[in-house]
A and B are shown apart, each in its own frame.
Chain A
């Protein structure tokens, strides 16, 4: 975010009051990310931008690396994100290694390899669907063709994502033919729906990459006249989201856990704007994605990245 967009929050608060633009929360205290230095049955060491950090592993510590796994499957140098138990900075509750997610519109298909456009402000992603995951992917993504939506979670393999878990059920129509949002009678700065996540660091150099622990969200309803810009490829979001710009701050409450945070809008969530899906967590009936959280914010708010979503209430003022 530029200095100008950071100044917007201060000036918005000056005119509309502090509730319209709350001060963003600092980095989460119980989430850490870095490159794996060493791991044993009882201790995990990460190289983070703040130096090496050690975490105690217990019998309850859960590992994920493309699926439930054990500590010895993690490789030194691998991108690892750790969530500590509440109130603790050194007892690891959950550990994810090599996490990757691709959300967007399929632009090219070559056998089991796909290219996915992830939004006008992000690089296209290369995806490979390994044979062992192809059946599972086919059930929820039956049309792996250009123009159709794609959302999957997997692990990094160099610059390619190996897609292992479908993160949603693909709509049966191409992204360009999505039905129009029904008319909204009453606007609100408070909207409920599902949130997903994305990784601003793309799993790279997490030991020293400041993007790795970036907090905030990509918003699917940036105003086209300002920050979304002339190359804007966002659709009208399915949820009735108020139009905002970069630098705005919103309060986000996890409807499942009750966890809440004030987060800045740091990017355009054009890819998320195409989806009109529902997260099955907490039995919510609300459709549409209200935000695409950065990976660090998603984990800090109690989300399970391998589940892909949680239901949340977004308040923009």
Chain B
């Protein structure tokens, strides 16, 4: 049984390290030890930290024999240094999160995150001396491997305040008005919508002339032509959702755009919101 527990440590630690590296690379908020550094070096430090974690994770999975022992030893040292850092961080800034999983680790450093760090240190040290790589340990699993893996994952879950943060974010996502969303993503979704197919024949180009944001909507204006007249084809794509609502309008293109304060003239010759435009508001 002890051997079984030792064998699952390398893949488990590799998964933890990969998740930690990913969270640190994606999230730009400074948490944990990085927050104690000068502002200009925080991001490079976080990226370097993520790089080291990712490299150790790969090494734990693929290296065998003495090289794997080196990776396991280095992992144990990394977690031991992390534990000492958390202790110092807690004394210096009791309100600071550990930053173990980037911006998800916002809960102040407490007994759970420190115990978890100690557990990982012991797990990495305990796995030193096994001959096979982490992947080899998974290649021929027994039911006991599964039981041990589930039990340890449960312990880690109990010791992880990040799960609460994830649950909160899932329950209360950022409202669409405030959500940063790249315009390219909205363009991709627009091009999959029925409104796009309906208006595509009018467009002179499939690249937008202008894009802008208004609360929950991204707008894209395209140059077009209808019955020999230059028109603007405008789409509004809702931010968020897998099948966002899309609205479309076709208006006469103006040579001289109306000026602020005197632009109350209706934009229409063809109808403001195109009456034939399907508005696929279903989500």
> Contact at B213–A244, with CB atoms within 8 Å?
yes
Residue B91, interface by CB 8 Å: no
Question: B219 contacts which of A12, A185, A249, A316 (Cβ < 8 Å)?
Answer: A12
Q: Within A242-285, which residues are at the interface with B (CB < 8 Å)?
A: 242-249, 264
> Contact at A23–B261, with CB atoms within 8 Å?
yes
Q: Within B143-183, which residues are at the interface with A (CB < 8 Å)?
A: 168, 172, 174-183
Knowing A242-B177, A317-B215 are in contact, say whether A11-B209 is a contact too (CB < 8 A): no
> Contact at A11–B182, with CB atoms within 8 Å?
no
Knowing A16-B214, A21-B214, A317-B215 are in contact, say whether A6-B258 is a contact too (CB < 8 A): yes
Q: Within B195-254, which residues are at the interface with A (CB < 8 Å)?
A: 209-217, 219, 221, 232, 234, 236, 247-249, 251, 254
Name the interface size band of chain A. Answer: 35 or more
A4 — nearest CB in chain B belongs to which residue? Answer: B210
B176 — nearest CB in chain A belongs to which residue? Answer: A187
Q: Which residues of A contact B35 (CB under 8 A)?
A: 177
Q: Which residues of B contact A23 (CB under 8 A)?
A: 261, 263-264
Question: B214 contacts which of A20, A27, A147, A188 (Cβ < 8 Å)?
Answer: A20
Residue A180, interface by CB 8 Å: yes
> Contact at B180–A24, with CB atoms within 8 Å?
no
> Contact at B219–A8, with CB atoms within 8 Å?
yes
> Contact at A316–B215, with CB atoms within 8 Å?
yes
Knowing A3-B257, A24-B260 are in contact, say whether A246-B251 is a contact too (CB < 8 A): no
A248 — nearest CB in chain B belongs to which residue? Answer: B214
Residue B256, interface by CB 8 Å: yes
Which of A91-99, A192-200, A221-229 forms part of the interface with chain B? A221-229
Knowing A1-B260, A184-B178 are in contact, say whether A226-B232 is a contact too (CB < 8 A): no
Q: Which residues of B contact A241 (CB under 8 A)?
A: 178
Contact digits for A128-143, partner B, Cβ 8 Å, 1 yes 0 no: 0000000000000000
Residue A204, interface by CB 8 Å: no
Q: Within B28-50, which residues are at the interface with A (CB < 8 Å)?
A: 29, 35, 39
Q: Within A10-43, which residues are at the interface with B (CB < 8 Å)?
A: 10-12, 14-16, 20-21, 23-27
> Contact at A188–B260, with CB atoms within 8 Å?
no
Min Cβ gap A294→B in Å is 13
Q: Which residues of B contact A15 (CB under 8 A)?
A: 217, 219, 234, 236, 247-249, 273
Q: Which residues of B contact A242 (CB under 8 A)?
A: 177-178, 215-216
> Given the complex of chains A and B, what is the CA–CA distance between A25 and B249 in angstroms?
25
Residue A157, interface by CB 8 Å: no
> Given the complex of chains A and B, what is the CA–CA distance between A244 and B178 in angstroms?
9
* B contacts with A, residue count (CB < 8 A): 46
Residue B272, interface by CB 8 Å: yes
Question: A11 contacts which of B177, B183, B232, B262 (Cβ < 8 Å)?
Answer: B232
Q: Within A167-192, which residues are at the interface with B (CB < 8 Å)?
A: 174, 176-177, 180, 183-189
Q: Which residues of B contact A226 (CB under 8 A)?
A: 183, 211-213
> Given the complex of chains A and B, what is the CA–CA distance between A113 and B281 in angstroms?
57
> Given the complex of chains A and B, what is the CA–CA distance between A184 and B251 in angstroms?
37
B234 — nearest CB in chain A belongs to which residue? Answer: A11
Q: Which residues of A contact B181 (CB under 8 A)?
A: 225
> Contact at B39–A147, with CB atoms within 8 Å?
yes
A1 — nearest CB in chain B belongs to which residue? Answer: B260
Contact digits for B124-140, partner A, Cβ 8 Å, 1 yes 0 no: 00000000000000000
Q: Within A228-247, which residues are at the interface with B (CB < 8 Å)?
A: 240-247
Knowing A25-B261, A184-B175, A242-B178 are in contact, say whether A11-B215 is a contact too (CB < 8 A): no
Q: What 4 A-B pairs come out closest when comparing CB atoms? A: A187-B175, A245-B212, A187-B177, A3-B257
What are 30 A-B contacts with C-beta separation under 8 Å?
A6-B258, A8-B219, A9-B260, A11-B219, A11-B249, A12-B236, A15-B234, A15-B247, A16-B247, A23-B264, A24-B261, A25-B261, A27-B261, A176-B39, A177-B35, A183-B168, A183-B174, A184-B178, A187-B174, A216-B260, A225-B180, A225-B183, A241-B178, A242-B215, A243-B180, A244-B214, A248-B212, A264-B260, A316-B214, A316-B215
With A14-B272, A248-B212 known, 4 other A-B pairs at CB within 8 A are A9-B263, A174-B39, A227-B212, A245-B213
Residues of B within 8 A of A (CB): 29, 35, 39, 168, 172, 174-183, 209-217, 219, 221, 232, 234, 236, 247-249, 251, 254, 256-264, 267, 272-273
